[in-house]
Chain A
Amino acid sequence: MKKILIIEDEKNIIYSIKVFLKKLGYEVLIAKNGIEGIQLCEEHRPDLILLDILIPKMNGFLVCETIKNNHELMNIPVIFMSAKVQKDDMNKAYKIGGDDFLIKPFNHEDLKMMIKKYIKEA
């Protein structure tokens, strides 16, 4: 079973994504802040990370940078989810190794397409 890590502090988002992803047949890991997210990532080696930018303790960019600088973790696709969609933010996200960008608000279809893009089913 493929594992997806959600790093997000908004519980309703977490919940709706979790329900959807479980339905699609993924194992879902949840971190409510950046530090926890990195810990979970190191522990479980997820197949995909959904990363919010504005999260407590360590923001999304830093989390992404940390993961991408880790040789063991750098191949995990990181998809940013944010309402912050200014060009600078997008550029920064790609520059530090982010793989893609989901602009809030998105719906389940957008999310599904994005996941399918990075997780090839066996």
Chain B
Amino acid sequence: MKKGLKLKLLSIFGFLLFIIALNSIWAIINFQRLNNSIDNIMKQNYDSIVYAQDMIYALDNQNNLIVDYLYVEGTDIDTNLVTNETNFLSLLVLAEKNITEDGEREILDSIRTNYTDYIVKYNQLLASNQLTSEEKKVIYRSLNELYHRISSKCKDLLNLNQQGMSSRKNQSYAIAQNATYSMITISIISISSGIIISLILTEKITNPLRVLIEKIKNIAQGDYEQELEVTGSDEIAKLGSEFNVMSKKLLQYKNLNIKKVMAEKQKAEAIVQSINDGIIVTNEDHKILLVNHAAEKALNVRENDVINLHFLEAIKNEKIFKIIKEVGTKSRKKIPSKSFEDVTINNEDGQQDHYRIYVKSIKTKQEESIGVVTLLQNITKLKEVDQIKSEFISTVSHEFRTPLTSISMAVGLLLNEESKELNSDQHELLDVINEDSKRLNNLVTDLLDFSKIESGKVQMDLINCDINKIIEHAVKPFEMQTKEKNVQLIVHKNNQLSKVKADYNKIIWIITNLIGNALRYVEKDIGIIEVNAKQVATKMLVSVKDNGKGIPEEYQDKIFEKFIQINNYSNKGSAGLGLTICKEIIKAHGGDIWVESKLNEGSTFYFSLNLSM
């Protein structure tokens, strides 16, 4: 740290102290000069004035003594005369030593010359005892003349020194004035330069700090691209360079994070976009958040056009919206929870595409719904295949009928004949053929019933009817069979409103089918079958419960599909269409059918019907 902040501050204070010191020195010098000039006045002029006055005084005394001697009878030469003479001469010597003014020497020279004459003259006078008054007068006259001359010269000396004093006073005054002015000037200069330099230097220190504060503010607002210009090598410069390092690292960190997040986002988007099934994500207000390529194609929309729009506004498919709405607001009520729904959408080419819609709500950990994911699985191909299969089944079944007719005719005839030509083995074989032809008959009938219902060729004859009556009707044929197997068949009737909108015979068929199934799987002597009708919300919920061996979980969804037979649950002579037909019929009623089952505990089949208004 060669040039630290400390040094900078010290140099400011040092500079100010230096100016103050300069000022003080200048003041001391001025005081000294002023003092000297006053001293000069005292020494050079005041002393000379005093000498001149004393010389005049001494001369006057001398002169008076001489006059007394000459004109007052009986007066002797006074010793004072000599004393005064000595005084005068000593004063003169002092005055001669203190020559300060121009012309002073000439005056003093003339005083000395005249005074020497004066001494000679009055000593002449004193030397001659007997002088006439006339002579005295002559001497006195010349003495008097000398006296006046000396006196006037002394006065000249006095005046000269008075003048000198006066001029010195003016000089001192000028010096004082100069000192004042110069002090003021220097003070102003030093104060202003001090202020300016302090300002410059503090600016130099605080300016980088101000810039730094500005940059830090920017960083706080998220703009990490901040760089300080670093000059010098003081603490602030060091702070600046550290700041640069910090902002650079922050920027790198931010870029790194953003890159990571972007990469994750792109990955997720790529995955979502590349999925062959259509995906639509909506929020809790049913505004669209995401539409992938497959969904764009399926619904003939563009993601950019529909984002943030309400589902209905953007996609205008009320059927799908209804499912989304149901799932979004689904309560925990025991209303059938369908896992999917099939819809038909007209595509761009005016052809119909079939989609299976799966809807799942996205929930937070607190079980709050924050949106819904809708999956559109294109099942057009499946439907086509299914259609072909159905047609095939229908055709095959039809084709079966004619040969079946001749078989059963022929067998019937042979059995009817009671021919003696048939032995008992042959008769038994004919019985087998007869039985299986009947079974084949039933199968074909089932298949045809199913294909009719599936193709929608069978119209549901929906009338207002009493569910209790339907159940009563359905249960009746089982009286014998339950007795045979010694199982209980319990019916819980619905006590409240029991009117439903349904095809009377077809619902009987369904209940019969369900009871038939149950009967097949309950064990002898301990089996219990319960038929129950209960109103739940706006639906009538009918259930057939058994305590049989139950259905494995992996089959629970599948049993309503076509031709599904559960392993080890063989039901010879069944095409596995009973439940599929049930489902088709219930679907045509606008209801739902599902099963709840536990292995070795039993199964409960539910179906729902609309209440009649």
Footprint of B on A, CB under 8 Å? 10, 12-13, 15-17, 19-20, 23, 81, 83-87, 104-109, 111
Contact = CB atoms under 8 A, between A and B. Distances in A.
B398 A16 contact: no
Contact of B405 (A23, A86, A87, A104): A104
Contacts of A13: 402, 405-406, 409
Given A105-B400, A105-B405, 15 more contacts: A13-B405, A13-B406, A16-B405, A16-B409, A19-B410, A23-B413, A81-B405, A84-B398, A104-B401, A105-B407, A107-B405, A108-B413, A108-B416, A109-B412, A111-B409
Contacts of B12: none
A105 B413 contact: no
B457 interface: yes
B20 interface: no
A10 B402 contact: yes
B161 to A, nearest CB: 162
| A12, A23, A104: most-surrounded residue (chain B CB, <10 A) | A104
Q: What band does the interface of chain B fall in when counting residues whose beta carbon is under 8 Å from A?
A: 20 to 34
Given A85-B448, A86-B457, A107 B398 contact: no
A108 B412 contact: yes
B434 to A, nearest CB: 9
A12 B408 contact: no
Nearest to A104: B401
A105 to B, nearest CB: 4
22 contacts: A12-B403, A13-B405, A13-B406, A16-B410, A20-B409, A81-B405, A83-B398, A83-B401, A83-B402, A84-B398, A87-B457, A104-B405, A105-B401, A105-B402, A105-B405, A105-B437, A105-B441, A106-B405, A106-B408, A107-B409, A108-B413, A111-B409
B444 interface: yes
B149 interface: no
Contacts of B398: 83-84
B404 interface: yes
A74 B403 CA distance: 31
B402 A16 contact: no
B589 interface: no
Contacts, number: 60
A15 B412 contact: no
Interface of B: 398, 400-410, 412-413, 416, 437, 441, 444, 448, 452, 457-458
Nearest to B406: A12
A12 to B, nearest CB: 4
Contacts of B441: 105
A20 B409 CA distance: 8
B406 A10 contact: yes
Contacts of A104: 401-402, 404-405
A14 B492 CA distance: 52
A17 B413 CA distance: 9
A81 B406 CA distance: 12
B413 A19 contact: yes
Contacts of A111: 409
B408 A105 contact: yes
Given A16-B410, A23-B413, A83-B398, A105 B457 contact: no
Contact of A16 (B413, B444, B452): B413
A104 B448 CA distance: 12
A81 B437 CA distance: 19
| B398, B409, B452: most-surrounded residue (chain A CB, <10 A) | B409
Contact of B413 (A10, A20, A86, A106): A20
Contacts of A19: 410, 413
B222 to A, nearest CB: 73
A10 B406 CA distance: 9
A107 B400 CA distance: 14
Given A86-B452, A105-B444, A108-B416, A17 B409 contact: yes
B460 to A, nearest CB: 13
A110 B441 CA distance: 14
Interchain residue pairs A-B with the least CB separation, the first 8:
A83-B401, A105-B404, A16-B409, A108-B412, A12-B406, A104-B401, A107-B408, A105-B405
Contacts of B404: 104-105
B405 to A, nearest CB: 4
Contacts of B437: 105
Contacts of A107: 405, 408-409, 412
A83 B397 CA distance: 9
A83 B405 CA distance: 10
Nearest to B408: A107
Contacts of B406: 10, 12-13, 15-16
A16 B452 CA distance: 29
B593 to A, nearest CB: 25
A114 to B, nearest CB: 13
Contacts of B402: 10, 12-13, 83, 104-105
Contacts of B410: 16, 19
A98 B458 CA distance: 22
A23 B409 CA distance: 13
B596 to A, nearest CB: 36
Contacts of A87: 457-458
| B398, B403, B404, B412: most-surrounded residue (chain A CB, <10 A) | B412
A105 B412 CA distance: 13
B284 to A, nearest CB: 48
Nearest to A84: B398
A111 B416 CA distance: 14
B456 to A, nearest CB: 12
